[in-house]
């Protein structure tokens, strides 16, 4: 349990690193896009060669594919709901965290709109982070530190640019640094708890249910990549992000096999 907590804290530290960078400076979009693309490549390795392979080895094909599709479906359904809630804010004009209207800090916003938009952003960040961190805990329980270490590196790399983009957008909306750090601190705590929960869930489960949980996390991560990380990276970085994705894939592939 202590190891799972430590891994969860290390992975969630990526959020705090990203928030600090985003609040102190405004890094170029192309640079952030390259980091997002690199993290995407790493996560592709983690969900394919680590989570899904382990899920298939632990359980059955039916449980593995069923869990995978269920994970993707849960993510998509929750994301659609949160997107509608976030769109109610008059300060935003797109899905990207930095897509705020010109002069957003001065745009009037009712208390209800601010609460709904803020809650949607918070829950959306948790939605992106929980499957990844839960997978770290599940990986630790299923295969020990080997699988957990690969996922830890992948999740940390994905968390940093996500927090940078979001914190820059929140600052452009007129949110205070205290507000930004409080939101992302809550996300970090929730994701750390997800790691511990993922590890604890394996206690009394049969191998096929362990496989289903691993596949569930993999499906949610793939849906998140297709819905958020990869489109954002391409939109802000252009075709060159394909190379960054390939480099991330290659690095994670080597780490996986060397580990």
* Residue 88 confidence (pLDDT): 59
For the chain, the average pLDDT equals 78
Mean pLDDT of 34-63: 84
Q: Could you give the percent of the chain with pLDDT greater than 70? A: 78
* Residue 43 confidence (pLDDT): 84
Where residue 141 falls among pLDDT bands split at 50, 70, 90?
low
Q: Could you tell me the residue range of the domain that residue 175 belongs to? A: 2-258
96-132 burial string, b = 16+ CB within 10 Å, else e?
A: bbbebeeebeeeebeeeebebbbebbbbbbbbbbbbb
Q: Which residues contact 152 (CB under 8 A, 6 or more apart)?
A: 7, 10, 11, 136
Q: Which residues contact 201 (CB under 8 A, 6 or more apart)?
A: 137, 138, 141, 213
pLDDT by residue (tens digit) across 183-206? 888 889 988 998 888 888 765 677
Mean pLDDT of 150-162: 77
Name the 3-class secondary structure at 100: strand
* Residue 206 confidence (pLDDT): 78
* Residue 102 confidence (pLDDT): 56
Residue 69 has pLDDT above 90, yes or no: yes
Domain count within the chain = 1
Name the 3-class secondary structure at 92: strand
Mean pLDDT of 228-252: 87
Q: How far apart are CA 30 and CA 36, in angstroms?
A: 10
Residue 53 has pLDDT above 80, yes or no: yes
* Residue 32 confidence (pLDDT): 80
Do 70 and 209 meet the contact criterion of CB atoms below 8 Å apart? no
Instruction: Retrieve residue 240's tokens.
Output: 């060159």
Phi then psi for residue 195, to 5 deg, are -65, -45
Q: Which residues contact 221 (CB under 8 A, 6 or more apart)?
A: 43, 46, 47, 51, 71, 131, 132, 135
Residue 94 has pLDDT above 70, yes or no: no
Q: Strand runs (DSSP E) across 161-201, as ranges?
A: none
String of DSSP letters for 123-163: HHHHHHHHHHHHHHHHHHHHHTHHHHHHHHHHHHHHHHHHH
String of DSSP letters for 21-39: HHHH----HHHHHHHHHHH
Q: How far apart are CA 246 and CA 111, in angstroms?
A: 44
Alpha-carbon Rg for the chain, nearest whole angstrom, is: 18
Mean pLDDT of 74-87: 77
Residue 106 has pLDDT above 70, yes or no: no
Residue that wins the pLDDT comparison between 95 and 253: 253
pLDDT by residue (tens digit) across 9-27? 998 898 899 889 888 887 7
Where residue 140 falls among pLDDT bands split at 50, 70, 90?
confident
* Residue 64 confidence (pLDDT): 92
């Amino acid at each position: 349990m202590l190891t799972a907590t430590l891994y969860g804290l290390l992975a969630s530290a990526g959020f705090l690193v990203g928030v600090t960078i985003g609040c102190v400076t405004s890094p170029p979009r192309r640079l952030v896009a390259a980091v997002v693309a690199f993290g995407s490549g790493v996560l592709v390795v983690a969900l394919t060669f680590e989570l899904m392979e382990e899920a298939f080895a632990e359980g059955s094909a039916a449980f593995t594919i069923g869990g995978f599709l269920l994970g993707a479906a849960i993510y998509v359904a929750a994301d659609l709901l949160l997107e509608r809630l976030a769109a109610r804010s008059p300060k935003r004009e797109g899905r990207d965290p930095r897509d705020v209207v010109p002069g957003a800090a001065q745009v009037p916003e009712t208390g209800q709109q601010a609460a709904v938009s803020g809650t949607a952003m918070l829950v959306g960040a948790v939605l992106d982070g929980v499957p990844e961190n839960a997978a770290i805990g599940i990986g630790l329980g299923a295969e020990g530190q080997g699988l957990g270490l690969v996922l830890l590196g992948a999740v940390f790399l994905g968390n940093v640019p996500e927090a940078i983009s979001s914190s820059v957008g929140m600052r452009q909306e007129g949110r205070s640094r205290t507000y930004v750090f409080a939101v992302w601190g809550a996300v970090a705590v929730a994701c750390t708890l997800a790691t511990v929960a993922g590890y604890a869930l394996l206690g009394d489960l049969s191998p096929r249910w362990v496989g289903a949980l691993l596949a569930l996390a993999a499906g949610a991560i793939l849906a998140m990549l297709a819905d958020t990380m990869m489109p954002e990276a391409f939109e802000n970085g252009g075709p060159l992000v394909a190379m960054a994705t390939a480099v991330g894939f290659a690095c994670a592939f080597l780490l996986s096999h060397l580990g």
